[in-house]
Chains A and B, each alone.
Chain A
């Protein structure tokens, strides 16, 4: 767990250097969600609301165990249920705690135009700073997991903070604290990755889930929330977890080459007309030569 104030290593919409870049020896933190031991009790959801001070949301019954269709601006994490039947007709109830994945390469931060509205701490937590948010929702466009949620009243976007306020004070996130089965773990990325791989091997060895594995997608340079899944080849069965998430290439194009080309073209245009003026000067008015004496 991080000790002391969190260092910032990346800032959205920011020109110039970032204070905490390459200055911290803080290690990467990670939340491990072992879906094979999740019982869907939703204690993590309640703990999250308790810590963040939000009221419980109205539930929506849809003939399954699903409490409500989606996370919300004031509901950061939600257990997604899926009654999955395989080719042999065996039914399994898949459950996954869905929340911000805290990508090492966060698409939200790349897409955000507002200076300081999204920061990435050196321990890997990606955090929204609502006081700097302008409500444009480009973060929603940049996110491969569809996590940021807009509050139409405040015109700000919210998501899981990985309890940065707790982690900064050397406490584990609220959801971890509340989990009764030990399916949630928190620690350094290296430790959690180790634990996850050990658990996945155990599942492969002792159960019929021969494809159990660890979900830590490389398309976003890894995440600071990782899963142990029964079947690593089909993450989409767990409430639409993308198989190969990456920052949309359109967002990369827009925030990369197009920006350089646009900046260059605008600057060149202004310099160009200035040079033109110096070279050719203004168009002088000439008198009407068709009239005797001309006109004024």
Chain B
């Protein structure tokens, strides 16, 4: 007697939203950013200094923060190689961005349809790309301050300011990004982890992309 043969077909009826390379790339970026965020917040505020102990102790944090920061920049460049073209802001996005308030208030009726990424995701993407560039550029000066001569002390002062402002800007985007993916848009964590979404999910959140990849339009 054998059990009825039920063919195991993972993600049957679903569509692939992120390839394996995209998922690895995303989570590599996330991990490096998160480490820099936790250690950076520890250096930022005495009230958050305990975070440095959570990730290995303060001197260890000082050692790894710039190295993983470099990893974050590499990850971001990798991301740009894969997503750069998808992230160009088009007229579809401009329409979406002009109606951001409808999206924020869950007013589906007045939310313009979006492509593979919506206007908000693209804004976040460019915020992080430029944020990463500014953070690494200013970070190099903070990494090796001993090579900056006394006469050029102003360089250190300016770079500290650039680093802090760029970090705060990315944190603002990051809070919204995590909130959106974990709470606001159910199944998006599954999408970026397993790579697949249901057709209804794609129809709901990225209809133009869905219609295109399912060969029904465009």
Question: Is B45 a contact of A136 with CB atoms below 8 Å?
Answer: no
**Partner of A134 from B59, B153, B185 at Cβ < 8 Å:** B59
Decide yes or no whether B83 CB sits under 8 A from chain A. no
**Interface secondary structure of A, over-half rule:** loop
Cα-based distance from A263 to B48 in the complex (angstroms): 10
Question: Is A248 a contact of B153 with CB atoms below 8 Å?
Answer: yes
Give 7 closest A-B pairs by Cβ, nearest first.
Answer: A250-B157, A273-B179, A15-B46, A134-B62, A295-B199, A288-B203, A113-B43
Question: 1/0 contact trace for B176-211 toward A, CB 8 Å?
Answer: 100100011111000000000011110111000000
A20 to chain B, nearest CB (A): 18
**Partner of A287 from B47, B62, B200 at Cβ < 8 Å:** B200
A1 to chain B, nearest CB (A): 32
18 contacts between A and B (CB under 8 A): A15-B46, A113-B42, A113-B44, A133-B59, A141-B156, A155-B59, A251-B157, A258-B165, A262-B164, A265-B172, A266-B175, A273-B179, A280-B105, A282-B185, A285-B198, A285-B201, A285-B204, A286-B200
A277 surroundings in chain B (CB, below 8 A) = 179, 183-184
Decide yes or no whether B120 CB sits under 8 A from chain A. no
B151-167 residues with Cβ-Cβ distance < 8 A to A are 153-154, 156-158, 160-161, 164-165
Decide yes or no whether B58 CB sits under 8 A from chain A. yes
Decide yes or no whether B8 CB sits under 8 A from chain A. no
Question: Is A285 a contact of B49 with CB atoms below 8 Å?
Answer: no
Question: Is B49 a contact of A115 with CB atoms below 8 Å?
Answer: yes
Decide yes or no whether B215 CB sits under 8 A from chain A. no
A19-77 residues with Cβ-Cβ distance < 8 A to B are none
Question: Is A15 a contact of B200 with CB atoms below 8 Å?
Answer: no
The chain B residue sitting closest to A279, CB to CB, is B105
Q: How large is the interface on A (under 10, 10 to 19, 20 to 34, 35 or more residues)?
A: 35 or more
The chain A residue sitting closest to B13, CB to CB, is A296
Decide yes or no whether A206 CB sits under 8 A from chain B. no
- State the A residues within 8 Å of B (CB): 13-15, 113-115, 132-138, 140-141, 146, 150, 152, 155, 248, 250-251, 253-254, 258-259, 262-263, 265-266, 269-270, 273, 276-277, 280-288, 290, 294-296
Question: Is A288 a contact of B175 with CB atoms below 8 Å?
Answer: no
Decide yes or no whether B150 CB sits under 8 A from chain A. yes
A94 to chain B, nearest CB (A): 19
B149 to chain A, nearest CB (A): 10
B200 surroundings in chain A (CB, below 8 A) = 285-288, 294-296
Question: Is A282 a contact of B186 with CB atoms below 8 Å?
Answer: yes
Q: Known contacts A115-B46, A280-B105, A282-B185: does B161 contact A250 (CB below 8 Å)? A: yes
Question: Is B49 a contact of A263 with CB atoms below 8 Å?
Answer: no
Cα-based distance from A296 to B196 in the complex (angstroms): 13
A285 surroundings in chain B (CB, below 8 A) = 186-187, 198, 200-201, 204-205
B31 surroundings in chain A (CB, below 8 A) = none
Q: Number of B residues contacting the other chain (C-beta, 8 Å)?
A: 49
Cα-based distance from A290 to B161 in the complex (angstroms): 52
A114 surroundings in chain B (CB, below 8 A) = 49, 58
Decide yes or no whether B145 CB sits under 8 A from chain A. yes
Question: Is B45 a contact of A287 with CB atoms below 8 Å?
Answer: no
**Partner of A283 from B106, B154, B165, B172 at Cβ < 8 Å:** B106
Question: Is B59 a contact of A150 with CB atoms below 8 Å?
Answer: no
A140 surroundings in chain B (CB, below 8 A) = 145-146, 156
Cα-based distance from A141 to B156 in the complex (angstroms): 7
A136 surroundings in chain B (CB, below 8 A) = 43, 62, 142
B172 surroundings in chain A (CB, below 8 A) = 265-266, 269
**Partner of B108 from A138, A282, A286 at Cβ < 8 Å:** A286
Decide yes or no whether B61 CB sits under 8 A from chain A. yes
Query: Known contacts A136-B142, A141-B160, A262-B168; can you find 17 more A-B pairs with CB under 8 A?
Result: A13-B46, A14-B46, A115-B58, A146-B150, A250-B154, A251-B157, A253-B161, A254-B161, A262-B164, A263-B47, A265-B172, A266-B172, A269-B172, A273-B176, A286-B200, A286-B203, A295-B199
Decide yes or no whether B104 CB sits under 8 A from chain A. yes
Decide yes or no whether B74 CB sits under 8 A from chain A. no
A14 surroundings in chain B (CB, below 8 A) = 46
A225 to chain B, nearest CB (A): 19
Question: Is B175 a contact of A269 with CB atoms below 8 Å?
Answer: yes
B102-134 residues with Cβ-Cβ distance < 8 A to A are 104-106, 108
A275 to chain B, nearest CB (A): 11
